[in-house]
Structure 1
Amino acid sequence: MADPPGCCRSCATCLLCLYSCQWITAKKEKRKGLRTTKVIPRVMLSRGWPAPAWEAQSGDWGAEGFWLGGSLWLDWSLLLLIATAVLITYSAVLILPALPACRMLCAPLTALCPAPQTLLILTALVVAAAFIGLGIKWAEEWRSARVSLQATGPFLHIGIVGGMTLLAWPLASFIYRTHNTGLKVFLLFVYCMVMIALYLAPLGITSPCIMEENQLPPKPALVGHRGAPMLAPENTLMSLYKAVDCDVQVFETDVMVSADGVPFLMHDEELTRTTNVQAVFPERAALNSTTFNWTDLQQLDAGSWFLERRPFPTVQSLSAGDRYQVTEQRIPSLEQVLEAAKQSNISIMFDLRPENHSDYQSFVNATLEVILQSGIPLQQVLWLPDGFREQVKQQAPGIQQVYGRKRLQNEKEPLLHVNLPYQDMSSEEIRQYRQDNISVNLYVVNQPWLFSVLWCSGVSSVTTNACQVLKEMKHPIWLLPSSTYLMIWIVVDCTSFLAILWAFLLLKYV
């Protein structure tokens, strides 16, 4: 075989230097005058393989030296990365049948010197740790996998096809250099099956944003999660007004009732997170919010914690005026919030807490009394609590009833509004509810990509912390006509197939 060009020899030598202990040893001995001949990779000698043709003909390291020294580690590292991912994901099904194959695949690795062996072991440990870490971190996020794949599916498919196509080069190199027929057949079969599955994967990709421009539903309305919590302390009047500035149509909050019967805004059962109760009432700080009188609650600072703890990065960009206004915030009563909502022409949706309180019915009565006396149009009030719902319907029939569940098969009274986590509703269910004139609000949606997917699905509204971000979105992040996606699919698959074919043909004669 003819010598490769000088640049190829240089690249091969440099890469080999990274992976071949034998090459480094030879260079040291040559400097000391102990060796004048070229060396053969230890992996070949230890296996009893014959000296390669390039050693007898050229007497120098060429491209073959790179493939046997450097690329061997790269080949097995890539294969090990894929094998580790597959074994972790499908361990219960594949571990036992894969053991003989694993022994066969790993046999050549024992011929490597300690450095590549250590790198391979570290690679396996890092990949395994990464998958285990993701599994732990995403233990509660796996329910979001479906909508995440809907958002990234078309592009993820292109990336995986590209990665597997690049894998064809080291795979072809290894296949042409191994004498184990069974191993060749096994690797080719697995690789071909994976590529066929990837080429046909778009048949199962059903992203809602693959549609024509004229089919795009209206932009979902924004519901401020406790107001605008990235711009002001949650559940305060400042947060409500900031939400109004973000074109939010509904202010979502939580209501509790004080010991003397005054409904007020508070999410946590304790006051320690969002007030300075530990400084004002240290001996009562751990008590439930409902044990405080309204006069006691009015003594608490409900804003300074926002500047001290900085729950969102946006706190750093607040103006001096906003920072001063934050320090002036107090716990608002429901009466104050209803008055602000009436003046701002914004609806209010709230839950009444705590649901397991022994005096919950009195909480419902006190809350209804404040609503009816406020003068706010009842259609601007969205009622979430399930407890004593029938009583609420009788006393205030104009209030909009919002349900935190899906409709039942034998629903006596048809649902008009549902409020659910976005993980609980599929795109198909959203479209069906929309056709049946059921308003669907999903929470909590902060990321533009997630908002885009739900927009394409046809959701009515979303509850968000980031109203200032979603307000600026005039269009989903991406919208792809089906004909365009079909063209991309065909071009990517054809290009990948030709690249794989080229890799196997080229390396056969190199």
Structure 2
Amino acid sequence: MADPPGCCRPCATCLLCLYSCQWITCDCSWFLFLFCVFLFTLVWLYFAIIILNDFHNFNEFVFKQQKLWLDWSLVLLIATAVLITYSTVLLVSLTDPPWQDVIRAPLTALCPAPQTLLIITALVVAAAFTGLGIKWADEWKSARISLQETGPFLHIGIVGGMTLLAWPLASVVYRTRNTGLKVFLLLAYSAVMIALYLAPLGITSPCIMEENQLPPKPALVGHRGAPMLAPENTLMSLQKAVDCEVQVFETDVMVSADGVPFLMHDEKLTRTTDVQKVFPERADMNSTAFNWTELQQLNAGNWFLEVRMGALGGHDRDEVTKQRIPSLEQTLEAAKESNISIMFDLRPENHSDYRSFVNATLDVILKSGIPLQQVLWLPDQFREQVKERAPGVKQIYGRKRDQNKTEQLQRINLSYQNISFEEIRQYRQDNISVNLYVVNQPWLFSVLWCAGVSSVTTNACQVLKEMQHPIWLLHPHCPAHPITTCSLLGILLHNRRWGSCWLGPGMALIEILGISSCEMLPIIKRLMPKASDPCEYSDSPQLATLVCKQ
């Protein structure tokens, strides 16, 4: 073969150094290590997608530590994409090195770059999992919840991945001379495929139900308003939440040095105001150390332009620049005009003047003229005093009821990670309203909808507002055996969407892989909205009998 042009040879050499070294000769230990790293990064990719729901907590944590506000979810996704892409390309190039014909240099003489980069990849992913376990252990609960929503889809994806793996695995088995290793690899692969074949028997989800058993769509509670559309805890954010059809505006209340309750989440003003510019020498002081006149000098919107500039129209940008810290009185007036309820926490709970904070807040509520049933009181301290002074205020508790069920709780507000689906169903049967926070991703909203929660607190009201149905529902009596040619044929013929040339090989592959019909139905229905349950062909009894044959 002729040498490549001079300008191409350095590029080819670089690619060869990155993607094929001494271990390209199929050293089995390195191949197994590479495959394990590939799976490791694939699992991390799944976790990265799941924890995006709670990434606002990470953003706030980083800001408290480094005083740097950034949407770190983009950094996470880009880094994860780089890791998974590198390990994938390396795995493919290992089984069939594309550059051997381009460069005549012996492979054994090349640099050990892939080994080094692969070890770094493994260490980075291991560090990510370790940090997740130390700082955000609750995210493991999120992962378990996610499996009840993604289980069928993951099963199909893993089956497809294992099928694709058959080719490089066959190449490795063919090249190795160790008979024991060959037997081990074949047995291991067969065991995994058998386990995947049986896996649907263990898939459980609250979304396995009859269509007519689906609970009503959970109401939306705007977390600090609509923080993806406007600066949090501002009157603009409240109005955007109203536009999203949320039923409750959730916020945080603090009390100024001269006794005026106002909206603010952070104990310090540096993240959401320009206090460093207006009061540079006092920027690190707590919010409650400023009087109301000083607080009104601060701009509460310009910071938002730095992170959401591209997503705002001209009118919204102008409106953002005018935002100030609103008082509780102003907020209650806006809530009354918009006929929206308001739920709030009173902070900081450990303040020495907390009792006076409660009294000042109650005074404003009672003087505002807002119907008391539109106010949801969340703070636990001095709750009995609140009940005496304002008996019409709705009490919502940030904890579960006691074990003996003697408490007469009507509303609870919990993290979605700290309550089971069984408890949600039990509370629903006992007419206890359950609000869960913070729910931003459609997959999580979907599974909580199926579980029967009353409402969810969200940062993404504009996204969840558009959902008219859970992502998927499965008929509880759908056959759990591997899908038969007849059942898939019935679905396809009923919808008349796929050409007949795909039926034979497609159905044969699905049947061989052991994908269950219960898993295929939500996929098919997402692709073909008019798809029907294979056991519901009332227009063709003969076809229904054929399709539903066990």
Interval of TM-score (by shorter of Structure 1 and Structure 2): 0.7 to 0.9
Distance 1:469-1:302 versus aligned 2 partners, 3 A rule: same
Q: Which residue of 2 aligns with 1:443?
A: 437
Which runs of 5 or more residues in structure 2 are unaligned? 1-11, 17-21, 43-105, 485-506, 516-550
Asked if the contact 2:436–2:456 (Cα under 8 Å) also holds between the matched residues in 1, the reply is yes
Question: Which of 223, 239, 242 is matched with 2:240 structurally?
Answer: 242
Distance 1:118-1:224 versus aligned 2 partners, 3 A rule: same
Q: How far did residue 250 of structure 1 move?
A: 0.2
Asked if the contact 1:75–1:170 (Cα under 8 Å) also holds between the matched residues in 2, the reply is no
Q: How far did residue 344 of structure 1 move?
A: 1.0
Residue 513 of structure 2 is aligned to residue 496 of structure 1: yes
Q: Which residue of 2 aligns with 1:317?
A: 311
- Give the TM-score normalised by the residue count of structure 1: 0.72
Q: Which residue of 1 aligns with 2:32?
A: 79
1:259 is paired with a residue whose SS is coil
What amino acid does structure 2 have at the position aligned with 1:462? V
Question: Which of 355, 361, 380 is matched with 1:361 structurally?
Answer: 355
Q: Which residue of 2 aligns with 1:283?
A: 281
2:480 is paired with a residue whose SS is helix
RMSD: 3.1
Q: How far did residue 402 of structure 1 move?
A: 1.3
Where do residues 130-209 of structure 1 align in structure 2 (5 Å cutoff)?
Answer: 131-136=125-130, 138-139=132-133, 140=136, 141-175=139-173, 178-209=176-207
In 1, Cα distance between equivalents of 2:388 and 2:466? 41
In 2, Cα distance between equivalents of 1:325 and 1:87? 46
Q: Which residue of 1 aligns with 2:300?
A: 302
Distance 1:469-1:173 versus aligned 2 partners, 3 A rule: closer
Q: How far did residue 482 of structure 1 move?
A: 4.1
Q: Which residue of 2 aligns with 1:434?
A: 428
Query: Deviation string for 1:234-259 (max 9, x for gaps)?
Result: 11111111111110100000000111
Asked if the contact 2:439–2:456 (Cα under 8 Å) also holds between the matched residues in 1, the reply is yes
Q: How far did residue 418 of structure 1 move?
A: 1.4
Which runs of 5 or more residues in structure 1 are unaligned? 1-16, 22-42, 44-68, 90-111, 499-510
Asked if the contact 2:209–2:473 (Cα under 8 Å) also holds between the matched residues in 1, the reply is yes
Query: Deviation string for 1:106-141 (max 9, x for gaps)?
Result: xxxxxx953699476357525523531441464423
Question: Which of 454, 459, 464 is matched with 2:458 structurally?
Answer: 464
In 2, Cα distance between equivalents of 1:178 and 1:270? 64
Q: Which residue of 1 aligns with 2:367?
A: 373
In 2, Cα distance between equivalents of 1:150 and 1:138? 21
Q: How far did residue 462 of structure 1 move?
A: 0.9
In 1, Cα distance between equivalents of 2:384 and 2:483? 54
Q: How far did residue 263 of structure 1 move?
A: 0.8
Q: How far did residue 218 of structure 1 move?
A: 1.0
Query: Deviation string for 1:438-490 (max 9, x for gaps)?
Result: 21111111122221121122111111111111111112223333455736667
1:452 is paired with a residue whose SS is helix
- Give the TM-score normalised by the residue count of structure 2: 0.67
Larger gyration radius, structure 1 or structure 2:
1
Distance 1:233-1:220 versus aligned 2 partners, 3 A rule: same
Distance 1:485-1:333 versus aligned 2 partners, 3 A rule: farther
Residue 324 of structure 2 is aligned to residue 326 of structure 1: no
1:254 is paired with a residue whose SS is strand
1:486 is paired with a residue whose SS is coil
Q: Which residue of 2 aligns with 1:226?
A: 224
Query: Deviation string for 1:32-76 (max 9, x for gaps)?
Result: xxxxxxxxxxx9xxxxxxxxxxxxxxxxxxxxxxxxx97x63977
Tell me the number of residue pairs that the alignment of Structure 1 and Structure 2 aligns: 407
Distance 1:121-1:191 versus aligned 2 partners, 3 A rule: same
In 2, Cα distance between equivalents of 1:450 and 1:495? 32
2:434 is paired with a residue whose SS is strand
In 1, Cα distance between equivalents of 2:114 and 2:278? 59
Asked if the contact 1:349–1:382 (Cα under 8 Å) also holds between the matched residues in 2, the reply is yes
